[in-house]
Amino acid sequence: MRIGAIEAGGTKFVCGVGNENGVIEDRVSFPTEQPERVMEQVMAYFTGKDVQAIGIGTFGPIDLNPESDSYGCVTTTPKPGWSGFPFLDTLKRAFPVPMGWDTDVNAAAYGEATWGAAKGQDSCVYFTVGTGIGIGVYAEGRLVHGLVHPEGGHMLPRRHPDDGYAGSCPYHGDCLEGLAAGPAIERRWGVKGSELPAEHPAWELEAYYLGQAVATAVLLLSPKRVIMGGGVMHQKQLLPMVRAEVSRSLNQYVSAAPLITGLDQYIVAPALGDNAGLCGALALGLAALERSV
């Protein structure tokens, strides 16, 4: 089986072809320029690849409501040229195969639930902490859309008393993304996160905010697993610090074994690593194919 996968990120696009076991057999990537230029490259890549379906996990916000006139479009992004762009229709005209369409983080959650760290679980929450913060939600065996789709990266955490940084979200200032995404770390400390040593106080603040967000996700959604990926999570010391903060924050209120004694297996890195997004898109494509038969 040959399934196409597109991981459409704010910085780069990744296209690939994989199989029903989640194995990516081929891939390319290019920068996220204007949509016409990007689509030319996407189409050139899939032409002749003979894929039976395509799954798309994309940056957003996007329209996921099949009843809506703008279904399949990117909606309000400040990215030049992308606001209102009919992503799904453009592809469907070129490749008349079943297509899966969801946010990049929902795709990653789905990939992890299908082949990765939440395999066998009927729920998980996937955090990406990178240029932005996104939260994908898989619950009771399906991806959660709701009114639009979850936008958990913009929740409002309690401020750390030692944090004087105003926050960088253009909409909310000090929302989670405004305080804890990669660019916020860089602006707060004046250097890129990747250059800050493991013992730097930046990571205590980071864990404080991410820990609150994970605790909130646990309280609100009761996921059976929490997966944390994205560039900032490459800081290996961070995941144990986030677990400690979640534990402190929940204070044993939620009575479930994974939260009391098993946080190491409950809040985890993506098993699919940096492939989570592309594998997730592959899983969306596979699901679209299964729905079509």
Site size for Zn ion (CB under 5 A): 5
- Please, what is the minimum distance in Å from the beta carbon of residue 180 to Zn ion? 11
Q: Which does 76 bind (CB under 5 to 8 A by kind): Zn ion, ligand ADP, none?
A: none
Which residue lies nearest ligand ADP, judged by its C-beta? 182
Site size for ligand ADP (CB under 6 A): 16
Q: Which does 154 bind (CB under 5 to 8 A by kind): ligand ADP, Zn ion, none?
A: Zn ion
Partners of 17 in the β-ladder: 4, 26
Among 3, 113, 137, 175, contact with Zn ion (rule: CB under 5 A): 175
Among 194, 261, 265, 292, contact with ligand ADP (rule: CB under 6 A): 194
Q: Is residue 172 a contact partner of residue 156, using CB atoms and an 8 Å limit?
A: yes
Distance CA 80, CA 125 (A): 30
Helices 87-94 and 35-46 meet at what angle, rounded to 10?
A: 30
- Please, what is the minimum distance in Å from the beta carbon of residue 191 to ligand ADP? 10
The amino acid occupying position 172 is H
169 is a contact residue toward Zn ion (CB under 5 A): yes
- Please, what is the minimum distance in Å from the beta carbon of residue 159 to ligand ADP? 21
Among 11, 21, 34, 222, contact with ligand ADP (rule: CB under 6 A): 11
232 is a contact residue toward ligand ADP (CB under 6 A): yes
The amino acid occupying position 121 is Q
Helices 202-221 and 182-189 meet at what angle, rounded to 10?
A: 150
The per-residue b/e assignment along 230-257, b for 16 or more CB within 10 angstroms, e otherwise, is bbbbebeebbebbbebbbebbeeeeeee
Residue number with CB closer to Zn ion (74 or 175): 175
By 3-state DSSP, what share of the chain in percent is helix, strand and coil, each rounded to 5?
Answer: 40, 20, 40
129 is a contact residue toward Zn ion (CB under 5 A): no
Q: What is the binding site for ligand ADP (CB under 6 A)?
A: 9-11, 130-131, 182-183, 186, 192-194, 230-232, 234-235
